[in-house]
Amino acid sequence: MFVIGTIVPILLLIIKIRNMSKLNGKVAVVTGGNSGIGYASAKEFKNQGANVIITGRDSGRVQSAAKKLGVRGIVADVQSLEAIENLVVKIKNELGKIDILFVNAGIFKPAPVGQISEEVFDHQMGINFKGAVFTTEIFLPILNEGASIINLSSINAYTGMPNTAVYSASKAALNSYTRTAAIELAPRKIRINSVNPGPVSTPIFEKTGMEEEQLNGFAEAIQDRIPLKRFGQPDEIAKLVSFLASDDASFITGGEYNIDGGINVNPLLG
Ligand code: NAD
- The pLDDT tens digits for 61-70 are 999 999 999 9
Residue type, 188: R
Residue 177 among the catalytic residues: no
Index of the ligand 1 atom closest to the CA of residue 201: 41
Q: Please count the CA atoms within 13 angstroms of the CA of 25 that sit on its side-chain side.
A: 5
35 touches ligand 1 (CB under 6 Å): yes
CB 99 within 8 A of CB 27: yes
9 touches ligand 1 (CB under 6 Å): no
CB 103 within 8 A of CB 53: no
What would you report as the CA-atom Rg of the chain, rounded to the nearest whole angstrom? Answer: 20
232 touches ligand 1 (CB under 6 Å): no
Per annotation, catalytic residue among 39, 167, 177, 257: 167
pLDDT of residue 16: 62
pLDDT of residue 10: 80
77 touches ligand 1 (CB under 6 Å): yes
Q: How confident is the model at residue 9 (pLDDT cuts 50, 70, 90)?
A: confident
Grouping H, G, I as helix, E, B as strand and the rest as coil, residue 155 is helix
CB 237 within 8 A of CB 200: yes
CB under 8 Å, gap of 24 or more: what pairs does 42-46 form? 42/69, 42/71, 43/69, 43/235, 43/238, 44/235, 44/238, 44/239, 44/241, 44/242, 45/100, 45/102, 45/242, 45/245, 46/70, 46/71
Return d(Cα 210, Cα 187) in angstroms, integer.
46
pLDDT of residue 268: 80
What number is the average pLDDT over the span 205-228?
91
Ligand 1 binding pocket mutation candidate from 107, 195, 222 (most atoms within 8 A of CB): 107
pLDDT of residue 18: 59
Ligand 1 center–CA 267 separation, angstroms: 27
CB 173 within 8 A of CB 106: no
Shortest-distance Cα residue to atom 26 of ligand 1 = 36
Residue 200 has phi, psi (to 5 degrees) of: -125, 140
Index of the ligand 1 atom closest to the CA of residue 38: 26
